[in-house]
Amino acid sequence: MKTLLILNDAPYGSERTYNGARLAGSLAKQEGGEVRVFLIGDAASAAHRLQKVPAGFYNLEVMLGSVVKHGGTIGVCGTCMDARGIGVDDLVAGSHRSSLDELSQWTTWADKILVF
């Protein structure tokens, strides 16, 4: 099954991006599936590397890294990156600057699309 998760919310504050990343990580570990995650709007900040969070608190950088480690793909909206001052060198390893055109392609590729 080919699954696309579109995450919209800021990485911390609400748990929507956290829950989307959790699900993406779980799906990426399942055999025979393909997972793609697109970070748009405030969720673009979730792909910022070198995040420092309080001890015992979840870390989106680590969670997204697990998706990549298990074969998932992570795209980050380039326009959203620009609006937040995030450069390509600031991104979590394995993620890439993406575009609405790529999101459109991923949308037609996917069997299931989940929006958080």
- Domain interval for residue 11: 2-115
Q: What mean pLDDT do residues 90-104 have?
A: 97
What pLDDT, on a 0 to 100 scale, did the predictor assign at position 59?
86
CATH of the domain at 56: 3.40.1260.10
Structure confidence by residue, pLDDT tens digits, 36-90: 999 999 999 999 998 888 888 888 999 999 999 999 999 999 999 999 999 999 9
Question: In terms of Cα–Cα distance, which of 46, 58, 56 is closest to 91?
Answer: 46
Within a 13 Å sphere around the CA of 102, how many CA atoms are in the beta-carbon half? 17
Two tokens at 91?
């991104």
Residue 103 has pLDDT above 90, yes or no: yes
Write the pLDDT tens digit of every residue in 106-115: 999 999 999 9
**What are the pLDDT digits (tens) for 18-32?**
999 999 999 999 999
Other Cβ atoms less than 10 A from the Cβ of 92: the count is: 23
The token pair that represents 108 in the structure block: 């037609």
Look at residue 87 in the predicted model and tell me its pLDDT. 97
What is the pairing mode between strands 34-39 and 2-7? parallel
Distances, alpha carbon 114 to alpha carbons 35, 41, 59, 84, 90, in Å: 11, 16, 21, 24, 26
Global pTM value: 0.95
Number of domains in the chain: 1
pLDDT at 2 over 90: yes
